[in-house]
């Protein structure tokens, strides 16, 4: 792998801007190309971020020799298609979460990565957040004792969004679960593993998009109470209770700048500000893997992505969340 890894962005939307800003904070990578289906959008993004190569089609960028790795930031329904096309062109892939909209898609993406011998990782940026990294280590080390309870939610008011946009449009796999519910599910999975039973319930918008989902994950000696919603705002402070103490992750916990730990009634605050928005950590993981010849991250593996989408598949089965592309 070259000294400087050449990135391409496929889908220059809001999240791609955050990604591009944080890419500038890393030493080993640079933004080499951007692709949009709109020439005007691609050129505007290229001008804003001084990107040397601009494409008015996704295929054009993927077929070019201008990039080594592509960051896929399309709506969920485009993840499998464009990740597979990228990998067929020999490009490494960092794909926004969820990796696919169901397990079948994720399996096809992983199979393509193996067939084409390229790197693939789900861009679950919270896994690389410094606070969550430290919390995971402390929990595994038994600092607060065996976990008995986890609470995590992610909610904001989104019912005023464009009903044809990705959030409220079932045709784009819209709704709260895949967009933001993935975060509370991830936290429970990270700390407690796969649950032995799931109980879940959803409410729906008149467009057919799911807009509220409550979940209980049952483990042998613990429970996790999880929620995602687009009908109200939430503080988004997560709580992890152990036999010896409790960890509180500061709001908004999925992009937290620190946490607190309470043991024997004494609270210790641990501020851990992120560099930039916080995307640089997953970017550095990809670049480290590429420079060492790894085709899979050991921090967030293909199996982790399989497990995560399997949990969401089961919740969707229970609650009746079905997307038109699956019918």
pLDDT digits (tens, 9 = 90+) for 91-135: 999 999 999 999 999 999 999 999 999 999 999 999 999 999 999
Q: What is the mean pLDDT of residues 170-197?
A: 98
Asked whether residue 235 carries a pLDDT value surpassing 70, the answer given is yes
pLDDT tier, 259 (very low <50, low <70, confident <90, very high otherwise): very high
Reported as a single tens digit per residue, the pLDDT across 285-306 is: 999 999 999 999 999 999 999 9
| pLDDT greater than 80 at residue 18 | yes
The whole-number pLDDT of residue 327 equals: 73
Taking alpha carbons only, the member of 305, 322, 250, 319 closest to residue 120 is 305
Residue 253 has pLDDT above 80, yes or no: yes
Confidence of residue 3 (pLDDT cuts 50, 70, 90): confident
pLDDT recorded at residue 1? 62
Residue 304's CB is within 10 A of a number of other CB atoms, namely 19
Query: What is the model's pTM?
Result: 0.97
Percent of the chain predicted with pLDDT > 70: 99
Burial of 267 (C-beta count, 10 Å sphere; 0-12/13-18/19+): exposed
Report the distance separating Cα 115 and Cα 135, nearest Å: 36
């Amino acid at each position: 792998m070259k000294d400087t890894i050449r990135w391409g962005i496929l889908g220059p939307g809001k999240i791609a801007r955050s990604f591009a800003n944080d890419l500038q904070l890393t030493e080993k990578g640079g933004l080499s190309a951007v692709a949009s289906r709109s020439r005007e959008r691609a050129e505007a993004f290229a001008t804003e971020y001084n990107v040397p190569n601009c494409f008015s089609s996704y295929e054009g960028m993927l077929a070019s020799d201008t990039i080594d790795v592509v960051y896929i930031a399309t709506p969920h329904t485009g993840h499998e298609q464009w990740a597979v096309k990228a990998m067929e062109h020999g490009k490494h892939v960092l794909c926004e979460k969820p990796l696919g909209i169901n397990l079948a898609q994720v399996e096809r993406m992983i199979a393509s990565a193996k067939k084409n011998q390229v790197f693939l990782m789900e861009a679950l940026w919270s896994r690389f957040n410094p606070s969550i990294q430290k919390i995971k280590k402390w929990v595994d080390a038994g600092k607060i004792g065996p976990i008995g309870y986890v609470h995590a939610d992610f909610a904001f008011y989104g019912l005023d969004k464009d009903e044809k946009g990705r959030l409220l449009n079932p045709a784009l796999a819209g709704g709260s679960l895949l967009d933001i519910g993935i975060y509370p599910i991830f936290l429970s999975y990270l700390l407690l593993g796969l649950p032995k039973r799931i109980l879940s319930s959803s409410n729906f918008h008149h467009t057919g998009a799911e807009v509220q989902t409550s979940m209980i994950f049952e483990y042998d000696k613990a429970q996790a109470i999880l929620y995602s919603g687009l009908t109200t705002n939430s503080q988004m402070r997560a709580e992890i209770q152990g036999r010896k103490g409790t960890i509180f992750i500061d709001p908004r916990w999925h992009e937290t700048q620190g946490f607190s730990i309470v043991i024997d009634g004494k609270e210790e605050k641990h501020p851990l500000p992120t560099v930039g928005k916080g995307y640089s950590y997953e970017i550095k993981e990809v670049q480290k893997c590429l420079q060492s010849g790894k085709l899979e991250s050991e921090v967030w593996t293909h199996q982790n992505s399989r497990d995560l989408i399997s949990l969401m598949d089961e919740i969707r089965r229970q609650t009746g969340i079905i997307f038109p592309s699956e019918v």
